[in-house]
Amino acid sequence: MKKKSTPYVIVAVILLIIILFLALRPSNEPGEFDDMVNCLASKDIKMYGVYWCPHCNEQKELFGGSESLFKEKIYVECAEDAFSNERQRCIEAGITAYPTWIINGEKTLGTRSMKQLSELSGCEL
């Protein structure tokens, strides 16, 4: 006798798709550091990095729920093989290490805590 498990498999797949959709959809709620990102952007502060750099990724993760806004307004991708890179801009800025922040015209190398970024930029946390 043949088992009729096909309907259960279909239901399970549909439920999995719904769960993944709900878990992966972007949130419309503002991120914790949105105000800080907007302040940094208003002062033309940038972080230059490359997608494969663990310290750059660590820096992006510090922005938590504001990471996508950070990538849109603050982050400059320097990797030549990245999909939407700004390699020429990185060369013109003299970027040779990652991450490099340019704050008030000064280069600051390495990952910075949110407190350090606030102090260096004058943007409130």
Domains and CATH numbers, the chain: 34-121 (3.40.30.10)
Q: Which residues pair with 111 in a beta bridge?
A: none
d(CA 60, CA 91): 21
- Judge if pTM exceeds 0.85: no
Report pLDDT digits (tens) over 38-97: 999 999 999 999 999 999 999 999 999 999 999 999 999 999 999 889 999 999 999 999
Q: How sure is the predictor about 19, in pLDDT bands with cuts at 50, 70 and 90?
A: confident
CA 38, 44, 45, 51 dihedral sign is: positive
Q: How far is CA 47 from the centre of its chain?
A: 11
Q: What residues contact 89, with CB distance under 8 A and at least 6 apart?
A: 76
